[in-house]
Amino acid sequence: MTLPVRRFCALLLIVALVPASANDRLLLATAANFKPAMEELAAAFRAQHPDVSIEPVYASTGKLAAQIRKGAPFDLFFAADMQTPQELVQEGLAAAPVRVYARGRLVIWRAAGDAASLALADLADPRFTRIAIANPRHAPYGARAVEALTAAGVWTLVQPRLVYGENIGQTAQFVHSGNAQVGIIALSQAREPELAQRGSYALIDDALHAPLDQGYVVMRRAADRPAAARFTALLATVAARRIIERHGYTVPPAALE
């Protein structure tokens, strides 16, 4: 390889390693349960704003918040609850106000056998030796599952048989792989093609737990960024609402204000 060619290749490598301008890049911390909807929202945003690089990162709400507290450079945070982003606002890490963007539902899901007729009380049956829920310490859907099991009067019976996913996605994988016979997951997941074709679900009465309102907040570092404002504007559109609802959520009126 001649010297000019080597220099040219070295220049290409340097350019590839230089990150996009902060004004042209959005990093979205997103609760794992919202991944399918966020992927579609991000695609819609890219189509409208091809000059902006948008990258969602998925994990449990608690783990994402911990990363933010350690300095992770997220621009927006889409939590699976309202409390966690509000705490970040109070800590001075995020810009107020927290806005609700979706309301989720819990379901009982089985990969083998019919789940449509199952109720939470049925999970006390000894044949369900492994029941998967998301870890309630850092996953709001797991915390709501605990509330629902308690309200249904079966918590003490099922607790010894619980297996905990790090997030709602891993919880579904436990059931999908056969490592649990049944799981409590998000309706949005149960309706996705990969799971819908392989199992069945029963809705859990949402009166048994606190509402699964999910809130987002713009991080302080992105409070004045046009790209962040463009994405939040997209969320208020009818097109975004249809995407979110198609993935098994409702959109509370407050999200459209």
Instruction: Give residue-wise pLDDT tens across range 140-194.
Output: 999 999 999 999 999 999 999 999 998 888 998 999 899 999 999 999 989 888 8
> Does 15 score more than 80 pLDDT?
no
Task: Give the whole-angstrom CA distance, residue 197 versus residue 78.
Answer: 28
> 45 vs 191, which has greater pLDDT?
45
Residue 88 and residue 77 in contact, taking contact as beta carbons nearer than 8 Å: yes
Q: Residue 132 CB: number of other CB atoms within 10 A?
A: 27
Structural domains for the chain: 25-103+211-256 (3.40.190.10), 106-203 (3.40.190.10)
pLDDT at 114: 83
Task: Give the whole-angstrom CA distance, residue 141 versus residue 84.
Answer: 13
- Mean pLDDT in residue range 95-112: 93
Residue 106 and residue 140 in contact, taking contact as beta carbons nearer than 8 Å: no
Task: Give the whole-angstrom CA distance, residue 12 versus residue 28.
Answer: 28
> Does 77 score more than 90 pLDDT?
yes
pLDDT in tens, 119-134: 999 999 999 999 999 9
Supply the pTM of this predicted model: 0.81
pLDDT band for position 246 (cuts 50, 70, 90): very high
- Mean pLDDT in residue range 47-69: 95
The first and second tokens of residue 95, run together, are 């810009």
Q: Residue 84 CB: number of other CB atoms within 10 A?
A: 22
Cis geometry, peptide bond prior to residue 97 (ω within 30 degrees of 0): yes
pLDDT at 105: 95
